[in-house]
Amino acid sequence: MADRETATGTLGLVQAFVNTVDLEPGADEFNDPSALGAWLVARGLMAPNQSASEADLKHAIAVREAIRGAIGANSGGSVYPVDIATLNGAASASRLVPRFGPGGKARLEPHADGVEGALGRIVAAVFAAMNEDDWTRLKLCGSPTCRWAFYDQSRNHSSRWCTMASCGNRQKAKRFRERAKATSED
Contacts with Zn ion by CB under 5 A lie at 141, 143, 146, 148, 162, 167
Shortest spacing between CB 65 and Zn ion, in angstroms: 16
Rounded Cα gap, residues 158 and 3, in angstroms:
18
Shortest spacing between CB 161 and Zn ion, in angstroms: 5
Element (H, E) at 100: strand 96-100
Closer to Zn ion by CB, 30 or 161: give it.
Answer: 161
| 8 A C-beta contact, residue 138 and residue 129 | yes
Closer to Zn ion by CB, 25 or 104: give it.
Answer: 25
Rounded Cα gap, residues 71 and 140, in angstroms:
7
Shortest spacing between CB 148 and Zn ion, in angstroms: 5
Closer to Zn ion by CB, 39 or 148: give it.
Answer: 148
Closer to Zn ion by CB, 19 or 143: give it.
Answer: 143
Rounded Cα gap, residues 125 and 131, in angstroms:
10
Shortest spacing between CB 4 and Zn ion, in angstroms: 8
| 8 A C-beta contact, residue 70 and residue 87 | yes
| Residues present in the chain in total | 186
